[in-house]
Amino acid sequence: MIGTIVLVMIFSVLATLSVANRRWLMFGLLLVGGFPMTMLMPHETFFGFYPGGAYLFVILAALAIALLFRFPTLLGHSVRSSGFLAFLLYSLFSLLWTPDIGHGLRMLMKLASPFIVLIAMQTFLEDERDLRIAGWMVLACCLGVSALAVINTVGHGILGAGVDDPYFLRKNFLTPPTMSPANYSFLASSGALLALAGWLGSRRPIWLVVFLLLAVCVFWAFTRIAMAGFVMATGVLIFLLSRHMAVKLIFPIVIGIAFFTSFFFVDSFRARMFKSEKVEAGMVMTTDLKLLDKLVFTSGRALIWHRVNEKFFHQAPMAGKGVGSVDAWLERNMNSTRLHSEYLRIVSDTGLVGLSLYLLALAQFFARLIAQYRRNTDPVVRKYAALALAGLMFYSITLATDNSLNYISEFGLYVYAFLAFAFTAAGVRASRPETARRKVFTVAPAASGL
């Protein structure tokens, strides 16, 4: 009952903003999107949805109401992201042969949600001031959830256990109540990348402090794919935004090598990564991929991947077995929908056709951002393009071994918001007279940082 009241209150606020002030609806979503809402109602369900799914439905309903007021703009932004739209339409078409319509519709909601966020943010964030406020909301969310995580972990679960059980707390992995270290570390990484972009753009110490705090949280959560993606995304940001060529080239290489070697020379990293203390870098580099599971600790992922591959991709390689089919099978046989590889999930559901469309959609975003970065000289525009590139790279890396499509409000929302920030900044630049562009965009980095 309490959970229902909470959801109704949240929807009432969001629905009011979707009519009265759609800019503040965007700010509100960035502020509370990553909050572990399940901690307020851990044992309730809503028409078959757990609190996280019901919360996402509330967010999407508010966005749908808001977008109805700007339908022509919605169409224009959708066409410019035609690759992702094509993937969504093909996924919708695959409902014709999916064995479970219910799980198919749920999976479609997961796939479409980040895209809807992207379109909404592009539509309602209109100028540089909006982008600054949006950035502050992201950092406020990340720091607030991180504070909950520290209190919960140091207090040995004083605010509640992890997403399934107290396992993560026993290992002292940083995690807020009702969240796993994975989705929390993805959220913290998003805020850290935003803070690093702010520091590289303005050199204001406060942004470096925020970056370092959130970076510590990312490594404290100790999720391997999050740490790997974060290191690579940090290297991308430094390479694109640093003012000195030596730093551009040397620092990303140094942090990459240091992170890679830590798994062989730091005991805690080695124990998390490998099944034996005798594993060396040369063994990993030369071992056949089919035998890599004998060396690397995969937490049961390899077995699930093998079974899903045999059940789905081998039987329907081109078209897949229909969107949602993997989730339905996992829930019946594993009592969970966590496959820990979104690329495998997409190719199993929609086949090589669907995976190709999805990869082309990501490639289209990368191409647009790279073109935007190279064609603009305005530092703020380049900063947002670099941030979006780093965030999208981080997201693409995590799709390989985690459930990133499930982490919509904690992760996908922020990565696609960064895309919207970049596209909006470029649009503002293009629409301003040259003198106004100079006045706004050359002063902004030193004045705002974000």
CA–CA distances in Å: residue 347 to residues 300, 315, 328: 20, 12, 15
Radius of gyration of the chain (CA): 22
Question: CA angle, corner 140, sides to 137 and 144, nearest 5?
Answer: 145
Q: Given a cut of 70, is residue 175 above it in pLDDT?
A: yes
Lowest-confidence range among 25-39, 153-167, 193-207, 239-253? 153-167
Are 414 and 350 spatial neighbours (Cβ–Cβ below 8 Å)?
Answer: no
The region, left, alpha or beta by phi > 0 then psi within -120 to 50, assigned to residue 351 is left
CA dihedral sign, ordered 314, 320, 323, 325: negative
Are 368 and 398 spatial neighbours (Cβ–Cβ below 8 Å)?
Answer: no
Question: CA angle, corner 322, sides to 317 and 323, nearest 5?
Answer: 120
The first and second tokens of residue 347, run together, are: 């190719």
Question: CA angle, corner 422, sides to 122 and 25, nearest 5?
Answer: 35
Residue 338: strand, helix, or coil: coil
Residue 440 pLDDT: 42
Lowest-confidence range among 39-43, 381-385, 389-393? 39-43
Phi, psi (5° rounding) for residue 69? -80, -15
Cross-strand partners of 49:
46
Pairwise pLDDT comparison (131 vs 281), residue with the higher score: 131
Q: Given a cut of 80, is residue 92 above it in pLDDT?
A: yes
Rounded distance between C-alpha atoms, residue 202 and residue 265, angstroms = 36
CB atoms within 10 A of CB 108: 18
306 CB-near residues (< 8 Å, 6+ apart): none
Q: Given a cut of 60, is residue 123 above it in pLDDT?
A: yes
Rounded distance between C-alpha atoms, residue 162 and residue 176, angstroms = 7
Q: Given a cut of 80, is residue 357 above it in pLDDT?
A: yes
Rounded distance between C-alpha atoms, residue 11 and residue 352, angstroms = 38
CB atoms within 10 A of CB 222: 19
State mean pLDDT over 204-209.
Answer: 95
Residue 42: strand, helix, or coil: coil
Residues 264-306: tens digit of each pLDDT = 777 777 777 776 666 666 666 666 556 666 777 777 788 899 8
For the chain, what is the mean pLDDT?
86
State mean pLDDT over 128-139.
Answer: 96
Q: Given a cut of 80, is residue 252 above it in pLDDT?
A: yes
**Helix or strand run (H / E) with residue 419:** helix 413-431
Rounded distance between C-alpha atoms, residue 69 and residue 81, angstroms = 20
Q: Given a cut of 70, is residue 168 above it in pLDDT?
A: no
Pairwise pLDDT comparison (139 vs 247), residue with the higher score: 139
Pairwise pLDDT comparison (442 vs 268), residue with the higher score: 268
